[in-house]
Amino acid sequence: MFEQSAVDPHAREAALRDRIAELERQKSAAAAEQARLSVAWEKLRRTAEATAGVPASKRGRGLGTEIALARRESPNQGSKLLGLAKALVHEMPHTLALLTAGLLSEWRATLIVRESACLTVEDRRRLDNELCADPNALEGFGDARITAEAKKIAYRLDPQAVVDHAAKAPRDRYVSVRPAPEGMAFVTACVPMPQGVAVCATLDKAVKTNTDDRTRGQVMADTLVERVTGRPAEEPVPVTVNVVLSDDTLVDGGNHAATVEGYGPVPADVARSLITDSLDNDGEVALRRLYAGPAGGALVAMESKSRTFPKALAQFIRFRDDTCRTPYCNAPIRHIDHAHPARRGGPTTAVNGEGLCEHCNYVKEQSGWAVRVVPGESGRHTAEYTTPTGAVYRSTAPPIAGGMRVLTRDIHLVMPRRAA
């Protein structure tokens, strides 16, 4: 364990300020060192795999996930960090120097690398020299200004590359949802700029023509829901939603939190409202009983003789794992797979099954990776991941509180207008 450094209660404000600034410089310097180490690690791995006869196209696979685990980040972030490290070490020495000196944060270095990604190596080095060769050039620059300066230089160096890169960007459009405080949710849409501007203009027009006492934000949110669902915001929307909660929460007014699949925990009152609103509006509610251990909230195992997880068993594992089981990965579950591979005799059971995102499922199949199920706290499902370097990480399924569960489906989500 690291010792906590004592803070002098008698220190002057200036001394505290200087110490905070120094720690920030150390964080940047540490990020620069992590970049150099990541590149060195990749070189060692690729050399070893080349010696072992691994095809060039497959060398280095999974290393981003190993870096992520070492840094306690998601696997997706680990791949980005490795890409950042390679760009800094091999192509952008001035940006790396500013990071090492503590004059540039890791995030701002990432912004510079990101805006130069469409350039050739030679042009990327020119951008690096023009933007970061002077240690004082970026003094006082925030994220937006650094991004803007990098964009301007990139466009001047190779306008066509920037245009071509922008033309390909719409392929990566997406919509996501994540929990927000107090039973709310953030719905994020990454769309082409003209569409994004059009959406905002449409919502703004709704604000200007609104005649009731709702706030600007309320009108825009309600209009967005109405345009997407095709119904007024106050009317229930018939969708299939899975809610996991205890019998006590459902019928006896218990206070155990429930879980909405794809969202996360919700208060007991909110879960009950989802179900009662569905019943009040002639919604169909199907109940499926699942059982959890009374102490630790571990769901009871299910088993199949099939090599492929049957639909019910796969759904069971999704409820149990909630998100990708790789440590630090919060991605949605896309694959249900065997911890101990089926090709090596691994059974198709809840105990040997785990929910994974697509990336993590492919990574664990790479040479040197191993996953095994180990005894967990209070019987909760625990998987142990061993990387090619021998590092071991554990991932435990979240607890399901309250004993027996009830799964409700095909409920009507009611989105009432909120008072101003």
Contact 48, 22 (CB under 8 A): no
Residue 231 tokens read as 């119904």
Looking at residue 306, what is its pLDDT?
Answer: 58
Q: How confident is the model at residue 43 (pLDDT cuts 50, 70, 90)?
A: very high
pTM: 0.75
- Give residue for tokens 């030679």: 122
Amino acid at 410: D
CA torsion sign for 314, 315, 319, 320 is negative
Coil/strand/helix, residue 17:
helix
- Pairwise CA distance, residues 271 & 415, whole Å: 14
Question: Looking at per-residue confidence, does 234 or 292 come out higher?
Answer: 234
Residue 78 pLDDT class (50, 70, 90 cuts):
very high
143-169: average pLDDT:
92
CA 292, 294, 297, 301 dihedral sign is: negative
pLDDT in tens, 271-285: 666 666 655 555 455
Q: Is the pLDDT of residue 394 over 80?
A: yes
Of 19-28, 136-145, 249-258, 326-335, which range is least confident? 249-258
Question: Considering all CA atoms of the chain, what is the largest pairwise distance in Å, rounded to the nearest integer?
Answer: 73
Closest CA to 371 of 346, 402, 348, 398: 346
Q: What is the pLDDT of residues 185-206, one digit of tens each?
A: 899 999 988 899 999 999 999 9
Asked whether residue 55 carries a pLDDT value surpassing 90, the answer given is yes
Which pLDDT does position 413 carry in this prediction?
43
Using one digit for the tens of pLDDT, what is the confidence trace for 113-139? 999 999 999 999 999 999 999 999 899
Per the prediction, the chain carries an average pLDDT of: 84
What single string gives the DSSP state of each residue in 79-113? Answer: HHHHHHHHHHHHH-HHHHHHHHTTSS-HHHHHHHH
Please tell me the predicted confidence (pLDDT) of residue 132.
Answer: 96
The reported pLDDT for the residue numbered 67 is 97
Confidence of residue 236 (pLDDT cuts 50, 70, 90): low
Q: What is the pLDDT of residue 3?
A: 59
Report helix, strand or coil for 246: strand
Residue 309: predicted pLDDT: 84
pLDDT reading at 237 higher than 80: no
Share of the chain above pLDDT 70, in %: 79
Over 70: is that where the pLDDT of 262 sits?
no
DSSP letter (8 states) at residue 47:
H
> Quick check: 293 pLDDT over 60?
no
